Structure 1
Amino acid sequence: MRDLPRRATVVKVDDAATFIIRPNMAVKLAGIQAPPMGTEESRRAKAELERLLLRKKVEFETREWDRLGRSIAFVRIDGVDVNKAMEEFLESLRSESP
């Protein structure tokens, strides 16, 4: 069963696909695979997710919970589909790579 959409403030971004909301709950963007940590792509993608979400109120709909206890969710902010925006951003990074 899916949860109803929820609203919360993003307090930290862990990587290009995972962020923390109050009160200390991890949310992972459904369908998004973050680039490997320590790479330029990872740094740029994390910065993009921070630009979109950090210290802002988001709406999210949990589809499932992973083995780490994270909410796997579809996320929106001000009408923007964050999952799709990050998918497109990551695709643009991949197309820049040799």
Structure 2
Amino acid sequence: MAYFGDADVDTMLADWGHSITIGGVTKPCLFDERDEIALEQDGGAGQIMRVAVATIKTSDFPNVANDDACIVDGVSYTVWRRLRQGDGAITELLLRKV
């Protein structure tokens, strides 16, 4: 498994042209929309929903939490779920539009 250092993540995020602001701090991010499975219970298929996803450098926002307000490219969202990836250098934020 490959692990990212902070410098690797800075390089990865630098060229994508998206930015996220949380708590008055603005940093680069990856931003996309994708399908997620929600409401999966007892082996059922669950419900597919479309979510906005911002991928951030974890150390840029170490205390981000569910329900925190954020702005991505001028659009207001709240953090729905925070998912650290791999070694924890990057975090995916699943977002809900306000």
Q: TM-score range by the shorter chain?
A: under 0.3
- TM-score w.r.t. the length of structure 2 is 0.27
Structure having the higher helix fraction is 1
The structure that has the greater radius of gyration is: 2
Q: Which has the higher contact order (CA 8 A, sep 6+)?
A: 1
- TM-score w.r.t. the length of structure 1 is 0.27
